[in-house]
Amino acid sequence: MDEATMNDDIRIVRELYGEVPPAPHLRARIQNRLADAETARGARALRFPRPALLLAGVTAVGVLSVGAVVALSGADGAGPVTTVAPEAPADARSFLLASAQKAERAQATVGRYWYTRERTVQGAGPVAGKDGAKRVPAGTRVGDRKRRIAEPSFSATVAHTQESWTARDAGDRTRTIVGIDRKYTFASPADEAKWKAMGSPSLGWVPAKPHVNNYDEPMRFMIGQKQVGMRELAKLPTDATGLNAELRKRYKADTGDPKFPLQGSYASYVWSTAQDLLAGPITPGTKAALYRVLAEQEGIRLIGKVTDPLGRPGVALSRAQGSDKRSMDAKGRPGEARLIIDPATGRLLAYQAFGVDDRGRSGVQLSMAYEAMGWVNSLSARP
């Protein structure tokens, strides 16, 4: 990465999120949303240096491949998602309204920490600690030549698990454990052979062994482009009318942002908000209201019954994302994001982003499966 690009990327992240990073479990989705042409002002994927921006788990996931993004597959939860014959409900709206009823039946609880355990599969990233020469026009002075992160010509994905204890109160410490059960998967035996010929180096930011991070500053969640704290999330409306009015107000503020006016429809805004908050510490009432607001948005499609990346049965909903040619497959179809929801409880099981890689192959580019989530009262406790 050249210095100008790096500084520009860091500036954008700081402008968007301020000096306090968002909650750890949102780190990979930040990259995906910033790359989305509808929801992130320009469809330019961020290219982070490895983890100078590791603070609070906001990590270097901007490079979605080594050489080329691959369609994820295999035993580590990447997919492809196995779709079986759809059953009732017959459309997305009916399913979302039914999910709202299930969600609001959950008992409202609270604790000192919001716990999540998630299994992520994504492009493995560049060779850690290596630089590569950036191509520059002929005649460029040596002093003007820049450097970028090395991106060898093989494709790989990395599967890894992260646990997070996000403190509700500013005085409590937040903790993440990253690098749990890291596994690489290569697109072909030839790709793996190239990696081994380099000495089997680490790829991207994910450590080879579990690593504990402790943070004393409060973590933030995202609604659109604005940070919100735990207590603010707890006060979100629990009825669809009130939540819709709140989201409309926030959407208007984001589209009118003088520095980075949000592009895209309100429906895209609600869909992106749902991706974030359904895995966050919102109340059962707010979750039910969010499902009801989602039910009234255009463009959401019912895929039907699926198994999620961890093999659990669920129902998938999808929405198109990205409008540039790079995100479309050979038939001109755009990429899509999917939410996989447990029909029995209304709980979010997984989020997946589908698209086209640098080799023209369609498939899952980011998979985040939520193994567990809930309130706990001490660090290291699990629901």
Q: How many C-alpha atoms does 272 have within 13 Å on its Cβ side?
A: 31
In this predicted model, what pLDDT tens digit does every residue of 339-357 receive, in sequence order?
A: 999 999 999 999 999 886 6
pLDDT at res. 77: 44
CA distance 227 to 18: 8
Q: What is the pLDDT of residue 137?
A: 42
Average pLDDT of the chain? 76
What is the tens place of the pLDDT at every residue in 201-245? Answer: 898 889 999 999 999 988 888 899 999 999 999 999 999 999 999
Checking if the pLDDT of 46 tops 50, the result is no
Q: What is the pLDDT of residues 80-109, one digit of tens each?
A: 444 444 455 679 999 999 999 999 999 999
- DSSP-derived letter for residue 88 is S
Residue 178: predicted pLDDT: 95
Q: Are 292 and 97 in contact (CB under 8 A)?
A: yes
User: Over 60: is that where the pLDDT of 19 sits?
Assistant: no
pLDDT of 67 over the 80 cut: no
Q: The pTM is what?
A: 0.76
**What's the pLDDT at 66?**
39
Please write the tens of the pLDDT for every residue from 165-179: 999 998 899 999 999
| pLDDT (average), residues 250-268 | 94
How far lies 273's CA from each of 34, 243, 276, 343, 358, in Å? 13, 12, 5, 20, 28
Enumerate the H helices of the chain as residue ranges. 3-17, 27-35, 92-103, 189-197, 230-234, 240-255, 266-277, 284-295
Do 353 and 32 contact (CB within 8 A), yes or no? yes
- Reference 221, options 213, 212, 231; nearest CA is 231
pLDDT score recorded for residue 364: 84
Q: How far apart are CA 1 and CA 7, in angstroms?
A: 10
Cα separations in angstroms, 23 against 18, 166, 371: 13, 7, 17
Q: Would you say residue 199 has pLDDT above 50?
A: yes
Residue range 152-166, pLDDT digits in tens: 678 899 999 999 999
Token pair 């090395």: residue:
150
All residues at 6 or more sequence positions from 265 whose CB lies less than 8 Å from its CB, including other chains: 38
